[in-house]
Amino acid sequence: GLQPQSVESDGGYRIKGRTDENVAALYRDAEAVEKAGAFSVVIEGTIETVAADLTRHISIPTIGIGASGDCDGQILVIDDMVGLTVDRVPKFVKQYADLRSVISQAAAGYAAEVRSRTFPGPNHVFSAAADKGEP
């Protein structure tokens, strides 16, 4: 299916499995990967019915990423899943958290405390007593 490393030569992010020629190529690739001895194959950015048919067609497990719930397993990129992606989030991504906002708020709080000189405070530096082995 979609191969992120080839996006530029493919003319951008394009969904795979829309033409008969592309479907045939997907089958050839899946069969070749299976024949080569792979333990599984990733199907990415591929029309759902094509990914489901591929899963039934080959004997090794399929891992879907933007493909089909019928794949044997699923994967999401962690940055997409937890809301760290800055640019365009792919349609197939479900965001389970918004860590980008949490991290932005934490960084803003840290910067404000450094500017106001409230950080570091007494609990965040080593005192002379601590240097002598005292708490």
**Per-residue tokens: 66:** 């933007």
Catalytic residue (one of 44, 48, 113, 134):
44
Residue bearing tokens 């990129």: 77
Which pLDDT does position 36 carry in this prediction? Answer: 97
Alpha-carbon dihedral sign for residues 75, 78, 82, 84:
negative
Helix H or strand E encompassing 65: strand 62-65
For 54, other C-beta atoms within 10 Å of its C-beta total 26
Digit-by-digit pLDDT tens for the chain (135 residues) are: 655 545 555 555 568 788 999 999 999 999 999 999 999 999 998 999 999 999 999 999 999 999 999 999 999 999 999 999 888 888 889 999 999 999 999 999 999 999 999 999 999 999 876 566 665
What's the order of all strands across the beta sheet hosting 62-65?
41-44, 62-65, 73-74
Query: Is-catalytic flag, 44?
Result: yes
Residue 60, C-beta contacts closer than 8 angstroms, at least 6 positions apart = 33, 34, 38, 39, 40, 41
Amino acid at 30: A
Using alpha carbons only, what angle is made at residue 72 by residues 66 and 76, rounded to the nearest 5 degrees? 35
